[in-house]
């Protein structure tokens, strides 16, 4: 009499675990292999005032290579930006646009604002 109850509980628990795993995989958004997030923003720096920064983040699942952050008159480069990594850059004064490109053909163009 006890064995069917124990087997039923084990089987029910296993079914619940399988159902949870299936739901997690079904509703988990797929991460793109190559993806960039570019966020120009104005930060307040003590003793300096407002400073424009450009934050570049690899939001994809694979590394990005030869990432170029182009401000028009000057550019910064990163040989590699691993998945999940975020780097900060300081564009030259007067920069109005930033264009970020890489070897994986991802391009992001954003306006740069001097005001907070």
Say how many C-beta atoms besides its own lie within 10 A of residue 107's C-beta.
12
E runs forming strands in 1-116: 36-45, 49-58, 64-70, 75-81, 86-89, 97-101, 107-111
Q: What are the tens digits of pLDDT across the range 47-91?
A: 777 788 999 999 999 999 999 999 999 999 999 999 999 999 999
Local confidence band at 15 (pLDDT 50, 70, 90 cut-offs): low
User: What's the whole-model pTM score?
Assistant: 0.70
Coil, strand or helix at 69: strand
Say how many C-beta atoms besides its own lie within 10 A of residue 64's C-beta.
24
pLDDT on residue 7: 62
């Amino acid at each position: 009499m006890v064995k069917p109850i124990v087997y039923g509980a084990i089987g029910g628990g296993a079914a619940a675990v399988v159902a949870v795993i299936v739901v997690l995989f079904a509703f988990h958004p797929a991460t793109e292999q190559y993806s960039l997030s570019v966020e120009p923003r104005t930060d307040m720096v003590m003793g300096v005032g407002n400073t424009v920064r450009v934050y570049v983040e690899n939001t994809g699942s694979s590394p990005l290579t030869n990432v170029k952050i182009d401000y028009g008159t000057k550019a910064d480069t990163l040989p590699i930006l691993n998945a999940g990594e975020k780097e900060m850059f300081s564009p030259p004064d007067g920069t109005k646009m930033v264009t970020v490109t890489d070897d994986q053909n991802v391009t992001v163009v954003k306006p740069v604002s001097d005001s907070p």
